[in-house]
Structure 1
Amino acid sequence: MAGFAPFWDQSDAVGRAVALLLLAMSIATWMLIFWKGWVLRRVRHDLARGVAAFWAAPSVEAARERLAAIDREQLLLPLVDAAQQAPAGGSLETRAHLDSQLTRRLRGALHRAVAHLQYGQVVLASVGATAPFVGLFGTVWGIYHALLAIAAAGAVTIDKVAGPVGEALVMTAAGLAVAIPAVLAYNVYGKWVAASEAELEGFAHDLREMTIDAAQQR
């Protein structure tokens, strides 16, 4: 921060706007990193416990009660409700076969669950992709601004050039400092989301088969 203060003092409105933009991107990134890390760790724990508790229950009703105490992010319960939901009478849905009805309802519930898991991923990807270029723009603008000031002073020496240019380069480092955590978090959380999505898809498939088998045995 010591090298950044002179740059801030000497910069104009554009340079300060770039610095504030990088600051906002950094704050948003770290808030998402901490929040998504907490949510996804809880999801992975609840999925492992919830799926095992569901299939160990003696009935669907008892299994649903167990899930209500485990599924804190409400990812498994909507799938169970979708599998047990009866279509409205007289609707087009009632004209389809049971397996088609189940597929449609479970697909909708699964999409909503995955959207919840992926929340914030776009922000992390966008920050990781754009922050280095924002920092580079700030560097270019800072150098341009510094050279104008040096030219206006008349005398150009290495000591007068090195200071302002070096301070402007801090913006490039700031852009990388914002982008690197965002990229790392995006990659790690993307892997966790994919693993949770696969677990949900397997659970939805098993629910569909169980519901069809139960209907055929009636």
Structure 2
Amino acid sequence: MFIQFAAAAAGAAPAAHAGENPYGLMAALEQGGTIAWAVFLILCAMSVFSFYIMFTKLFEQQKIINQSKRVRSSFWNNPSLKEGAAKLEKNSAYKQIVDDGLIAMDQHNKLTDPVEAHDWLHGSLQRSQNAINSKLGTGLAFLATVGATAPFIGLFGTVIGIYRALIKIGASGQASIDVVAGPVGEALIMTALGLAVAVPAVLAYNWLQRRNKSIAEDLAAFSNDVHGYMVSNGAVKPAVVGRPAPAAKPATATAGAATKA
């Protein structure tokens, strides 16, 4: 009797361990071999670079947005473009537009063939604006590429994992649902990883593109204002709305009059 009980207890211990889930990411990588590890590392690298680009572009965009606020509030209060540009940040996008405009006007005076100052200045300011927009768009192509290719890279890992699982199942001669579901479901982890990498990249790409469009509109408006200012010798410039004067306090004045009375 005791021998039978001991034998039953010894058989129950392996059964408990067998009931645990033997599948997961590490198991899929170990069974998938070199191809599974390569797919996993590629997806990890894509994710790391995607987030790096997203945060660096957000910082760069926010810097230009803050510069735009300072330009609208104080730049046009200066008596000349040179003095206004001197007060801007050294690497400011708006300072670059003003400096390129001043250089273009100086170069126009040195031209031997007659070229309209309006056309020459417009082309120079447009080139400066395009250079800034091109710099802002750097790296966004990588986000678009990750969003388009990461799901297929994950799907490739899934196909290889299912292929290996089916070969192993066929070699063992067992095709029951409990034998098939584990390895096949484990292979689908790669597809989930591909989607997890692609979705943030697509969202970041669309969001950054929208912010770049807004910044480009502000740069175009500022460039147009600089153009009008320069071709009119300072006669045309945007109106600067000053701070409203503090309102009078009639209640206080009335109280003072009542005190004197």
Same fold, judged at TM 0.5 (above): yes
**C-alpha separation in 2, matches of 1:215 and 1:199:** 21
**C-alpha separation in 2, matches of 1:89 and 1:79:** 19
**C-alpha separation in 1, matches of 2:181 and 2:111:** 75
Match of 1:80 in 2: 98
**C-alpha separation in 1, matches of 2:233 and 2:110:** 23
Q: Is the 8 A contact 1:51 1:203 kept in 2?
A: no
**Structure 1 residue 36 corresponds to structure 2 residue 57:** yes
> 4+ runs of 1 displaced by more than 3 Å?
88-92
Match of 2:15 in 1: none
- SS class of match (1:155): coil
Q: 1:58 aligns with which of 63, 79, 88?
A: 79
Q: 1:156 aligns with which of 168, 171, 175?
A: 175
Q: Residues 216, 96 of structure 1: CA spacing in aligned structure 2 closer, same or farther, 3 A cutoff?
A: farther
- SS class of match (2:129): helix
Match of 1:123 in 2: 142
| C-alpha deviation, 1:90, in angstroms | 6.2
Cα displacement string for residues 195-218 of structure 1 (whole angstroms, at most 9, x for unaligned residues)? 00000001111111111101899x
Match of 1:45 in 2: 66
Q: Residues 88, 208 of structure 1: CA spacing in aligned structure 2 closer, same or farther, 3 A cutoff?
A: closer
Letter of the structure 1 residue corresponding to residue 203 of structure 2: L
**Structure 1 residue 11 corresponds to structure 2 residue 32:** yes
| C-alpha deviation, 1:53, in angstroms | 2.2
**Structure 1 residue 105 corresponds to structure 2 residue 124:** yes
The normalised TM-score by structure 2 is 0.75
Letter of the structure 2 residue corresponding to residue 180 of structure 1: V
Does 195-204 or 50-59 show the bigger shift?
50-59
Q: Is the 8 A contact 1:82 1:102 kept in 2?
A: no
Match of 1:23 in 2: 44
| C-alpha deviation, 1:52, in angstroms | 3.0
| C-alpha deviation, 1:175, in angstroms | 0.7
Q: Is the 8 A contact 1:139 1:172 kept in 2?
A: yes
**C-alpha separation in 1, matches of 2:180 and 2:200:** 32
Gaps of at least 5 residues in structure 2 are: 1-22, 237-261
| C-alpha deviation, 1:91, in angstroms | 5.1
**C-alpha separation in 1, matches of 2:41 and 2:226:** 50
**C-alpha separation in 2, matches of 1:139 and 1:109:** 47
% same residue? 35
- Structure number with greater Rg is 2
Cα displacement string for residues 79-100 of structure 1 (whole angstroms, at most 9, x for unaligned residues)? 10121112177657x5311011
Q: Residues 90, 64 of structure 1: CA spacing in aligned structure 2 closer, same or farther, 3 A cutoff?
A: closer
**C-alpha separation in 1, matches of 2:116 and 2:108:** 14
Match of 1:146 in 2: 165
Q: Residues 90, 80 of structure 1: CA spacing in aligned structure 2 closer, same or farther, 3 A cutoff?
A: closer
Does 16-25 or 79-88 show the bigger shift?
79-88
Q: 1:203 aligns with which of 187, 206, 222?
A: 222
